[in-house]
Amino acid sequence: MSVQGKQPTKFFKTKQSELNWYLFDAKGKTLGRLASEIVKVLRGKHKPQYTPNMDCGDGVIVINAKEVRVTGSKEAQKIYFRYSGFPGGLKEIPYRMMKERHPERIIELAVKGMMPTKTPLGRQMLKKLRVYADDQHNMVAQQPIIAGN
C-alpha cells in the first residue's frame, strides 16, 4: 500500500553504476579535509544513486602526496603505530619519518580510518584508491576527471 503521489524507493545494482576515476592533487591541502573528500568519492556519496550496502563509488587517484600538510603541532607529535601481534612487536613511526620514507601511506591510512574497512565492502572500495608521491601517475588510460576543490 503506497501513499498517493509517492514513488517507491529505487535500489540500483552495481552494474547500473558507471565507474569513473577522479584525480585529486594533494599539494598544499590539509590531510583530514582531503581524506574526507576522497572517502566521499570512494563510497559513492557524490552520486544521486548512492546505496550504502553496495559499491557504487568511483576510483580515486591522488598525486603529490609528499606535499600534503597537517595543522597545528601534528607534524612534530603525530605517531603511526603498527603491532605484529608478538610481545615487543609494537612499532612507532613519527609523522616526519613516514613523510620522508612513504608519503603515500599517510593519505592511505587517513582514508582507511574513515572507511568501513572492517567489512568486505569497505575493503573492496579501498582497492580503488591509488596514491602517488609525485605528480606522475600511470593511470592515464582511465581518463581521470580532475576533482576541483
Tens-digit pLDDT profile for residues 105-143: 999 999 999 998 789 999 999 999 999 999 999 999 999
* pLDDT tier for residue 11 given thresholds of 50, 70 and 90: confident
- What is the predicted pLDDT for the residue at 118? 85
Across residues 88-105, what is the average pLDDT? 96
Q: Answer whether residue 1 shows pLDDT above 60.
A: no
Q: Which residue has the higher pLDDT, 13 or 123?
A: 123
Distances (CA, A) of 123 to 42, 119, 127, 139: 11, 6, 7, 21
Paired residues of 61 in beta bridges: 23, 130
Q: Which residue has the higher pLDDT, 61 or 50?
A: 61
Instruction: Kindly list the structural domains of the chain, giving each domain's residue range(s) and its CATH number in brackets, ordered by start.
Output: 18-146 (3.90.1180.10)
Distances (CA, A) of 104 to 1, 27, 36: 52, 13, 16
Q: Answer whether residue 69 shows pLDDT above 80.
A: yes
User: For 64-87, b where at least 16 C-beta lie within 10 A, e where not — what string?
Assistant: bbbbbebeeeeeeebeeeeeeeee
Q: Answer whether residue 9 shows pLDDT above 90.
A: no
